[in-house]
Structure 1
Amino acid sequence: MASRSDQHPDHTTTTAQPISATRQAITPELRRWIIKQAQAGYPAPVVLQSMRDAGWDEDVAAEAMEVTLRNHLNALSVQQGQPTAVPVPEPRLDESPAQVDCGDRTVNVLLAMAQPRIVVFGGLLSPEECDALIADAAPRMARSLTVATQTGGEEINDDRTSDGMFFQRGQSPLIQRIEERIARLLHWPIENGEGLQVLHYRPGAEYKPHYDYFDPAEPGTATILKRGGQRVGTLVIYLNTPEKGGGTTFPDVFLEVAPQRGNAVFFSYERPHPSTQTLHGGAPVIAGDKWIATKWLREREFK
């Protein structure tokens, strides 16, 4: 879409008349006007400024644009044969905070990307919590499996060369505390999360680029979805800092998140489709070991 920042949006509709902030409402007329400006190529900041100039409250204008354009894009996606978008976990970053209160711990916001939705958090876990997770998981590690979408079971996948294990939700006071912290951070119910998985990558180990959602076209997906619906978000927590390599890569947007002990990367996907740009992988570990904990979030209660 071409930029029209050097011009001004069409004021022939609702936004031309100022209106009291106490009476402002997101009307169908306003939605049609916003879509018309987007289709004409006006950037969002230009449209937002036009609405402010016409007397619209900034918060009302921003909400109107966000809701209208999101619903419009979702409708277009469905028309193109994509699955319908669903609600996803979302940290509260509306005011671009440097830190987020997670109840028992304050977490730093290091990076936030809107599309795809990727957020990097600093200090989600303490060094002591990272060490404790590794110590608890180490005796129970086995070759990592992936979900077998052909059957709904599990299988060894040559693209994933790590060892791993799962903790049950609430299995220990440490797990319970971490799960409560994650739920508060991402505003998603604890019961909608799979058990925390700990993975160990030795030198040379990797997980080639993949999607975390379950492909609707695969025959085993219907069986998988019975346990809580689709996956809609992923949180990868780094339990140590490898000497070299081991970053989390997002090939579609040329992003690599460096693994740093206690930090985490979150990303969400509102529909099981490549348009979410959530293709990601674990880059090969070049030197040292890499330990991570992964939390997958489902649409509904995971049983």
Structure 2
Amino acid sequence: MSRIRQDEPCPNLNFSRAMYFWDTNAENSICLTYLHNFLPVDMEIVSWSPTLVIYRNLLTPRQASEFLDFIEKRDMVMQKTSDNGKSIETTHRRANGSFIDHGATEVTSEVHNWVQKRIPALNFTNAELFSALSYLPGGHYSVHYDYLSYRSEKEHDWWMKNMRNRIGTLIFVLKTAEKGGGTVFPSIGTTIRINPRDAFFWFNAQADEEKEMLADHGGCPIYEGRKVITTLWVRAKNQPILPMAPTGSPIHASWLIPTFSSAIDPKLRSQSPVE
């Protein structure tokens, strides 16, 4: 049965700072707060393996408002999907969008730096441009993978040649629709529908950079209102998690928690933190 993440984070639970009580094999979601450089981050683990996590109130109200205003002033065009690195017209995706450089404005630069400081387990320097998307009624994106597949190396674009594949996806929610608009993860068995300012993340690949087959997802149709999100596709180059996490299985969500991964002896980094 599909589990739907409602707007309220972890009902009846407080974010926990007692890290040693985590059950990393638990099926139920866990809420926690970690501190990094004195910055608190509220994190909800929806799935430990494969990883699916929600960052509650990751953006400040001002950041979310200014980013949304900036997006709404831009020319948004009907988006295409990628087939072996090439953009093609398709009915599988219905959304207007625009690509935005990390340093395009003061707020985009601030958000990019803000996220890097709060999610230190990932290197966002090599992330693709912000991909802003606006979904109107009827807008949707059929189930797909963000991991890019090519028939041969000759088809690789600049990003693939220089930054390698999309290791993970971080989506910021700036505006939610009145009805519809969740993000479904069929293999995990859950649907995410969160508040503006929240963000959610998952891995598209395993530590050996092979495709994560459990990372299929899709944008549910909008029935009323409008949904606005912006995406950062995190590329594999210079990702500190990759040499630490075990290969041949999904990257475990515990690697995203700074106090967890940094406490592991370097000699043990080839082993799973949950073994």
Deviates more, 1:180-189 or 1:170-179: 180-189
Question: Which residue is equivalent to 2:102?
Answer: 169
Question: Which residue is equivalent to 1:292?
Answer: 229
| Aligned-CA RMSD value | 2.6
Aligned CA distance change for structure 1 residues 111 and 204 (closer, same or farther; 3 Å): same
Q: How does 1:9-28 map to 2 (within 5 A)?
A: none
Q: Secondary structure at the match of 2:163?
A: coil
Aligned CA distance change for structure 1 residues 293 and 181 (closer, same or farther; 3 Å): same
Which of 117, 121, 132 does residue 198 from structure 1 map onto? 132
Give the whole-Å Cα distance in 2 for the aligned partners of 1:219 and 1:283. 33
Give the whole-Å Cα distance in 2 for the aligned partners of 1:209 and 1:255. 13
- Does the 8 Å CA contact 1:214/1:221 hold for their aligned counterparts? no
Give the whole-Å Cα distance in 2 for the aligned partners of 1:145 and 1:125. 28
- Does the 8 Å CA contact 1:200/1:289 hold for their aligned counterparts? yes
Which of 170, 183, 194 does residue 116 from structure 2 map onto? 183
Q: What TM-score, normalized by structure 1, do the two folds share? A: 0.61
Residues 191-234 of structure 1, C-alpha deviation per residue, up to 9 Å, x if partnerless? Answer: 21111111100011101110000114467653351141010000
Q: Residue 244 in 1 paired to residue 182 in 2?
A: no
One-letter amino acid of the counterpart of residue 120, structure 1: I
- Does the 8 Å CA contact 2:143/2:218 hold for their aligned counterparts? yes
Shift in Å, 1:254: 1.3
Residues 133-169 of structure 1, C-alpha deviation per residue, up to 9 Å, x if partnerless? Answer: 12111222111123331xx332333211000011112
Q: Residue 283 in 1 paired to residue 220 in 2?
A: yes
Question: Which residue is equivalent to 2:147?
Answer: 213
- Does the 8 Å CA contact 1:235/1:267 hold for their aligned counterparts? yes
Question: Which residue is equivalent to 1:229?
Answer: 164
Number of equivalences: 206
Which of 123, 133, 146 does residue 81 from structure 2 map onto? 146
Question: Which residue is equivalent to 2:189?
Answer: 254
- Does the 8 Å CA contact 1:246/1:259 hold for their aligned counterparts? no
- Does the 8 Å CA contact 1:240/1:259 hold for their aligned counterparts? no
Q: Secondary structure at the match of 2:133?
A: strand
Q: Secondary structure at the match of 2:113?
A: helix
Q: Secondary structure at the match of 1:135?
A: helix
Give the whole-Å Cα distance in 2 for the aligned partners of 1:265 and 1:233. 11
Give the whole-Å Cα distance in 2 for the aligned partners of 1:260 and 1:177. 20
Shift in Å, 1:183: 2.0
- Does the 8 Å CA contact 1:100/1:185 hold for their aligned counterparts? no
- Does the 8 Å CA contact 1:248/1:259 hold for their aligned counterparts? no
Q: Which runs of 5+ in 1 are unaligned?
A: 1-58, 60-95
Give the whole-Å Cα distance in 2 for the aligned partners of 1:218 and 1:128. 44
Aligned CA distance change for structure 1 residues 191 and 297 (closer, same or farther; 3 Å): same
- Does the 8 Å CA contact 1:199/1:291 hold for their aligned counterparts? yes
One-letter amino acid of the counterpart of residue 244, structure 1: K
Which protein is bigger by CA-based radius of gyration? Answer: 1
The structure, 1 or 2, with the larger RCO (C-alpha pairs under 8 Å, 6+ apart) is 2
Q: Which runs of 5+ in 2 are unaligned?
A: 1-19, 21-29, 239-275
Which is richer in helix? Answer: 1
One-letter amino acid of the counterpart of residue 130, structure 2: L
- Does the 8 Å CA contact 2:47/2:188 hold for their aligned counterparts? no
Identical pairs, percent: 25
Q: Secondary structure at the match of 1:129?
A: helix
Aligned CA distance change for structure 1 residues 196 and 102 (closer, same or farther; 3 Å): farther
Question: Which residue is equivalent to 2:59?
Answer: 125
- Does the 8 Å CA contact 2:99/2:130 hold for their aligned counterparts? yes
Q: Secondary structure at the match of 2:196?
A: coil
